[in-house]
Structure 1
């Protein structure tokens, strides 16, 4: 049960933060954000605030912010349509009833001759009662009513396509950016809780009954060389010791400026079928605010580089598709991590947040990176790519991504039962 709660929290947080970035910068650019969704498929919860419908959907495979103008508008009115109109106190149309007009007895029933809800915001129509021609102004916040559901109209200046390439690019990039920021915040928070590891081979603690205790090493000692070989980092120290179980080592330490040499034999320890050496020492951690904050950025950078290298190996064929994990595989890995403690779970969440940011920036259709690629073409050409052609590319890309998701999920399920 703990794993289920942890997975829902983790998935919801990562998607929420990502889509929140898109939402915030859409609103800052004056775009009309119609829906903020976590998940895909049927709605299981919805709440409307101001212009935006907030929904939670059934399938936990992502989320989206639906901005007016990114896709063709849901409702399209053409000459000859019969619609109902309701007016505000200034004589402007504030409700356009598309169907079920009998449910709105106070509406004026008209036949559309011409309607412009992008630029001029006018309706040219015939009054079916008097057969007179009228032109009505439409309020900028007028509502479509179809199947008794209300939808705001989107004047052109509120649509995605009306914005500059830089505004569109920032709005699209904001989602992955928020994932990187979340990881930085998590690593900084973890640093303040448990400190951050120092790069040098400084000893932070000694296990009782260990070779290090027998050799009278103490907290604060810094290993500078072993068997005459310089040790510059903690990883240098760990790897040297692990490769030499049951071998006597001449370890030179710096203790408050004095160099002391100790003879120590690492005890043999079997880990995942491999025998390694260990001395029974723990790494030193620091808690100074400057180091903690810097660690949040450097840790995020280091993990970003590792993930990008892994993606490169996938592209070049050095890693197979079997190395990928979908929701089932991530759930299984989360189950393992949850058993090791809350701080490890937060570290895992931060790593997945970085992964989500990088994957979304890949130049693939339907992903943020693919959309940024089209926005870049717009900036170079001085005009946008034909929306219908771009829509087809994104649709095909989304279908292929769903197919990949099915394959990866099937592989995850097979691994669970192997």
Structure 2
């Protein structure tokens, strides 16, 4: 929990403070007087005046802000009027406003470049496991498939393949070209657009029953105090048969345990080359619909040989790393813009929107996983922050860009009435998105 909180706070302070610093830097270059630069919100507990600007630290670490001289926000001394933000040419105001989101996108390139320069581990787009009766199984996926393209777009790694499938499955049929284990080309079509199943996939963070890993019948984990632990099973044991019937795949074992609540099972397994037997009685667990399922408290291990096959690790040169960082930032930016477009046209579910709880959870998990994972998480959130702020919604930077561009074209500002209507609309949109984000967070947390 402490790691999650600290990782989340650090992410917000870094990304938002640099966003605001972009506004600050270009404002100073454009001759605008900046009164305050605050990291955090609330009453500052630290202040230091340097030149015309007061630098502050405030107790609520959920962002920051830059306060410029502006006649719309109160009286301004006559000698400061030439340096007021609202008295600048629209081109200067556009530059100041766009500097924040642009800083986030540049930061993403730098963060990705830094991470990639330390080494890159890619998962090749191979299917290792297909969950029985899942969406992927119905689409025809089988272990050993290599994903070549999604809706005609070539993919080079597992993350790209997964993102392309998830982004499109709500609005259209997803056509996936694969190369089978025998080397032949085949098609796997996912068609769940417009069904409740598509929304459920989003709630499950894009899971359709596909995994790149191959899992074996060898136990990777045995939960202490579980039925398996009480039966004497240990990590490293390989399950062979149940009630005299040989079982060859983990999915069959999972189905057997799930369908045997409270039932005694005679298990045959091997340990250190020796075959042994034991009896396991799965615990009964009631689902919300009243159905009972069995659980024995075990998890499988993955196939190490297959792991080596699908994992590609290399260390690019510095130049290559930052070129890759640029490409990754561009690709994710385009994907984010497409997502918002689908959201507006109703082709994407609101379940995709995440709030601070989900972001904090991912921040904690990536920080626990290592420096590179956390840096790449920061880069991805920085892209989202940059693109979202460029949306043409009043109260966001993109909304101000629309106002100033219109003023530049017309030769005069939009009327106060139109700007007020836009402000109310923007606040309503942002309030709605915040409510949806919190609802989705709570659903994922307890769901």
The TM tier, using the shorter chain, reads: 0.5 to 0.7
In structure 2, the residue matched to 1:181 is 106
Question: Which whole-Å CA distance do the structure 2 matches of 1:323 and 1:57 have between them?
Answer: 32
Matched, 1:321 2:350: yes
Count of equivalent residues:
300
The counterpart of 2:402, out of the listed 370, 373, 398, is: 373
Question: Which whole-Å CA distance do the structure 2 matches of 1:70 and 1:349 have between them?
Answer: 36
Question: Which whole-Å CA distance do the structure 1 matches of 2:109 and 2:368 have between them?
Answer: 24
Question: Which whole-Å CA distance do the structure 2 matches of 1:349 and 1:405 have between them?
Answer: 21
Give CA deviations for 1:391-416 in whole Å, capped at 9, x if unaligned.
56335523542453244224313431
- Residue 230 of structure 1 and its aligned partner are, at CA, apart by 9.4
- Residue 322 of structure 1 and its aligned partner are, at CA, apart by 2.6
- Residue 368 of structure 1 and its aligned partner are, at CA, apart by 0.2
Matched, 1:170 2:95: yes
Matched, 1:194 2:119: yes
In structure 2, the residue matched to 1:28 is 29
* Structural RMSD (CA): 4.1
In structure 1, the residue matched to 2:86 is 161
Q: For the pair shown, which has the larger CA radius of gyration, 1 or 2?
A: 1
Higher strand share: 1
Consecutive unaligned residues of structure 2, counting only runs of 5 or more, are 126-143, 162-175, 185-211, 217-249, 256-299
- Residue 63 of structure 1 and its aligned partner are, at CA, apart by 3.0
Pair 285,233 (structure 1): closer, same or farther in 2 beyond 3 Å: farther
In structure 1, the residue matched to 2:230 is none
Pair 38,399 (structure 1): closer, same or farther in 2 beyond 3 Å: farther
Give CA deviations for 1:72-107 in whole Å, capped at 9, x if unaligned.
21x48xxxxxxxxxxxxxxxxxxxxxxxxxxxxxxx
- Residue 298 of structure 1 and its aligned partner are, at CA, apart by 0.5
Question: Which whole-Å CA distance do the structure 2 matches of 1:230 and 1:372 have between them?
Answer: 40
Question: Which whole-Å CA distance do the structure 2 matches of 1:412 and 1:248 have between them?
Answer: 39
**Bigger relative contact order, structure 1 or 2 (CA pairs below 8 A, ≥6 apart):** 2
Higher helix share: 2
SS in 2 for 1:37: strand
Question: Which whole-Å CA distance do the structure 2 matches of 1:313 and 1:38 have between them?
Answer: 34
- Residue 390 of structure 1 and its aligned partner are, at CA, apart by 2.7
In structure 1, the residue matched to 2:413 is 384
Q: How does 1:340-355 map to 2 (within 5 A)?
A: 340-355=369-384
Question: Which whole-Å CA distance do the structure 1 matches of 2:183 and 2:432 have between them?
Answer: 57
**Does the 8 Å contact 1:186/1:346 carry over to 2?**
yes
- Residue 333 of structure 1 and its aligned partner are, at CA, apart by 2.1
- Residue 354 of structure 1 and its aligned partner are, at CA, apart by 0.4
Question: Which whole-Å CA distance do the structure 1 matches of 2:67 and 2:416 have between them?
Answer: 16
Question: Which whole-Å CA distance do the structure 1 matches of 2:42 and 2:435 have between them?
Answer: 16
TM-score by length of 2: 0.58
Question: Which whole-Å CA distance do the structure 1 matches of 2:365 and 2:148 have between them?
Answer: 37
**Does the 8 Å contact 2:39/2:57 carry over to 1?**
yes
In structure 1, the residue matched to 2:440 is 411
**Does the 8 Å contact 1:40/1:57 carry over to 2?**
yes
In structure 1, the residue matched to 2:49 is 48
Question: Which whole-Å CA distance do the structure 1 matches of 2:321 and 2:121 have between them?
Answer: 6
TM-score by length of 1: 0.61
In structure 2, the residue matched to 1:105 is none
Q: How does 1:14-413 map to 2 (within 5 A)?
A: 14-69=15-70, 71-73=72-74, 75=75, 117-118=77-78, 140=79, 155-195=80-120, 234-235=156-157, 249=182, 268-269=214-215, 278=306, 280-281=308-309, 282-386=311-415, 390=419, 393-394=422-423, 397-398=426-427, 400-413=429-442
**Does the 8 Å contact 1:196/1:292 carry over to 2?**
no
SS in 2 for 1:71: helix
- Residue 290 of structure 1 and its aligned partner are, at CA, apart by 2.8
Question: Which whole-Å CA distance do the structure 2 matches of 1:243 and 1:301 have between them?
Answer: 24
Which stretch of structure 1 is more off in the superposition, 304-313 or 10-19?
A: 304-313
